[in-house]
Amino acid sequence: MRILVTGAAGFIGSHLVDRLMSEGHYVIAMDNLITGKYDNLEPHRSETRFEFIHHNVSNYIHVPGHLDWVVHLASPASPVDYLELPIQTLKVNSLGTHNTLGLAANKGAKYLLASTSEVYGDPEVHPQPETYWGNVNPIGPRGVYDESKRFAEALTTAYNHMHKLDTRIIRIFNCYGPRLRLNDGRVVSNFIYQALKGEALTVYGDGSQTRSFQYVADLVDGIVRTMGCDHHLPINLGNPQEKTVLEIAKLIKELTRSRSEIVFKPLPIDDPRRRLPDITKARELLGWEPKTQLVDGLKETIAWFEAQFPKAAAR
Ligand code: UDP
């Protein structure tokens, strides 16, 4: 198939490109490289089934030739990034979603939207099933991401109804793995980076807030399975194993054999207290659930960070 992946140079995008290339597809990778890195796509550079287009999908998109799929992953995704890039975040998830949907409709392609567990905001229901409408502060600092992803889901659903576009929506919960940017600002990358550098691990709040972490290879498998499943309503992709942030800090300290201390910093505004996916739907429709144990995934991630570290330390 001929597949356009937006946000292809990002953390999840580049892993998805690896998988699609390994399955023999033709991949058009699009990214404006504001949070993605071209290096992530380097292995495919000389392949004939691969093209890279440097483009911001918030502007009109032109792709020559036919397309079988448009997979829309482009968006800043770390709270630190979308706080620094609030307007770009709003635009890519609204205008960018509109442009990519229009492109898919024009090409007769199928469409997958990467949405997020952030549509549930600071949830009041645990675990979160897809039927939960969420608890989002529209004007808080995270609103730029949460609300624009909610809009993107609404727009994708409208294209499905009005234009009979064959759409999928996935809600991605916290994900980690190799190629997280060292300075991405998210918890796993921060803690590994700090532990390897011998700096204090910065736990925000008292560390009792929870997240559920899935390894990127598991998520990519869930994305590919969703593409193969004829279901238009949102599907949660996440790990139903809940951990506190303090537990994550201690585990990363142990796995890196770091002597760094753990320090406590103020909790960011609107930081969700708990996040835990109900993945019944993914299990039933896709036969999917995360396979990688947290310790194993973290070891892989730490090894990757260690390999990057000489470069990072030299900067
Ligand atoms: N967090 C932390 N220290 C850090 C970075 C993040 O304690 O250096 C916390 C953050 O406050 C949140 C959790 O870890 O409660 C996950 O944060 P992340 O930015 O990875 O993603 P989120 O799930 O909030 O979108």
Same domain for 80 and 101, yes or no, is yes
CATH number at residue 59: 3.40.50.720
Determine the residue of 210, 211, 244, 264 to mutate for testing ligand 1's pocket, defined as the one with the most ligand atoms within 8 A of the Cβ atom.
211
Same domain for 166 and 55, yes or no, is yes
Residue 297 falls inside a structural domain: yes
Same domain for 123 and 190, yes or no, is no
For the chain, the domain total comes to 2
Torsion 197-14-94-149 (CA) sign: negative
Q: What is the mean pLDDT of the chain?
A: 96
Same domain for 94 and 222, yes or no, is yes
Contact 179, 14 (CB under 8 A): yes
Residue 182 falls inside a structural domain: yes
Whole-model pTM? 0.97
Ligand 1: residue whose CA is nearest its atom 14? 187
Report helix angle 187-197 to 294-314, nearest 10.
60
Residue 93 falls inside a structural domain: yes
Same domain for 135 and 13, yes or no, is yes
Residue 62 falls inside a structural domain: yes
Question: Which atom of ligand 1 lies at the shortest distance from residue 118's CA?
Answer: 25
Helix (H, G, I), strand (E, B) or coil at 139: coil
Residue 314 falls inside a structural domain: no
pLDDT in tens, 241-294: 999 999 999 999 999 999 999 999 999 999 999 999 999 999 999 999 999 999
Our answer on whether the CB atom of 115 is closer than 6 Å to any ligand 1 atom is no
The catalytic residue positions are: 145
Same domain for 75 and 187, yes or no, is no
Same domain for 96 and 192, yes or no, is no
pLDDT in tens, 9-57: 999 999 999 999 999 999 999 999 999 999 999 999 999 999 999 999 9
Same domain for 153 and 94, yes or no, is yes
Q: How many angstroms does the Cα of residue 187 sit away from the middle of ligand 1?
A: 5
The single-letter DSSP state of residue 296 is H
CATH number at residue 264: 3.90.25.10
- Strand ranges in the chain using DSSP code E only, listed in sequence order: 2-6, 26-31, 50-54, 69-72, 110-116, 167-172, 175-176, 201-204, 210-211, 214-215, 234-237, 243-244, 262-265
Same domain for 8 and 119, yes or no, is yes
Same domain for 169 and 255, yes or no, is no
Same domain for 149 and 230, yes or no, is yes
Same domain for 226 and 296, yes or no, is no
Helix (H, G, I), strand (E, B) or coil at 108: coil
Domain that residue 92 falls in: 2-175+214-237
Ligand 1: residue whose CA is nearest its atom 19? 186
